[in-house]
Structures are given as C-alpha cells and as structure tokens.
Amino acid sequence: MWNLKKVFLLAVLLNVLFSCSQTKSRSNNRNDKYNFSIIFNYTDPRPDREDKYRYRVSDNSLYLFFESEFVNDTITILINDIKKSEYVLNTEHSTGVAKVVELDDFKEIRNLGVSINSSPTVRFDIVDNKMNLIGIDKLGNQVNIKFYLKVPIYD
C-alpha cells in the first residue's frame, strides 16, 4: 500500500525529471551537466546537535544556503515559474558557504526552480510550510538539494 510520503516523493521526482527534460539550456561554452539529488528531512550528522539558531530565521521566509565548490557559477532562481534573481557565486572556503538567499512571503511560494550556469532548471513544489531551509551544494557535477530539519551550522 502506498503511503503519503512515497506518493509525495514520487510526485517530486517526476516533477524534477519532467522539468529537466522540458527546459532549454543556455550555452556559454561550459560543460554544465549536473546530476541533481533531492534529500528530504536532511539533518546534521551529529545527532546531538540542537537547533539553537532557529530563532534567527523567520517562518515567513525561504532560506537557500548555497554551499561547497561554487566557483564563478551563475545561479538563477525562479519562484512560481518566474525568474526572481540571478547571482554569480564563489564559495568562501573558511565557512564553506557561497551565499545565503532569503526570499520573503514563503507562504506564497508554490514552487522553486534553480539553474546553475547553462544547466536545465530543476523545479520542485513547496508542499509543506516547514520546508523553508534548503541547502544546495555542488561537488563536481553532483548537486545536492537538501531540505534541512535544523538551521545549518558552518564551523
């Protein structure tokens, strides 16, 4: 019997695959082929870590934490299928963070799209009002999109 979580994960996966196959890629003479993974309910590997920075984030904002190995990468963010912003990112090596983007009116965001350089846009629906902490890291051609349970700490 299919439970709600399996149906949700299948719907998100199909949405990501469909979006990737339908999006045209920009060309800028870079080999921008990435493998995207979406990780739900991601938590710090240290199980005893408390969520001591939760008070610093708003329930009415969406936070995107761009982490690891961004080097002059152009990031395009779409909200509800409309281009919201574009950034050129470089990871700061002492913290491992390239940029934290705060998007207001989280409750109005139905879907989010992210494109790196000339890659296809990966789109996914925001179906839970607790999905407002999203980490995006790039390790070579692997891009992980992590829905954090706790505010990430960079130490």
Domain edges within the chain: 4-45+52-148
Q: How far apart are CA 64 and CA 135, in angstroms?
A: 6
Q: Which long-range contacts (CB under 8 A, 24 or more apart) does 73-78 make?
A: 73/116, 73/117, 73/138, 74/116, 74/117, 75/99, 75/114, 75/115, 75/116, 76/113, 76/114, 76/115, 76/121, 77/101, 77/103, 77/112, 77/113, 77/114, 78/112, 78/113, 78/114, 78/115, 78/121, 78/123
Q: Which pLDDT belongs to residue 115?
A: 94
Q: Which pLDDT belongs to residue 46?
A: 62
- Going by C-alpha positions, the residue among 55, 53, 59, 40 that lies closest to residue 153 is 53
- Going by C-alpha positions, the residue among 35, 152, 143 that lies closest to residue 96 is 152
Q: Which pLDDT belongs to residue 152?
A: 80
pLDDT, tens only, 76-97:
999 999 999 999 999 998 999 9
Q: Which pLDDT belongs to residue 13?
A: 44
Q: Which pLDDT belongs to residue 111?
A: 94
Single pTM value for the model: 0.74
* Residues in the chain where the model's pLDDT stays below 70: 1-31, 43-50, 53, 155
For the domain spanning 4-45+52-148, the CATH number is: 2.60.40
Q: How far apart are CA 153 and CA 15, in angstroms?
A: 30
Asked whether the beta carbons of 100 and 130 are under 8 A apart, the reply is no
| H-run or E-run covering 12 | helix 4-22
Asked whether the beta carbons of 136 and 145 are under 8 A apart, the reply is yes
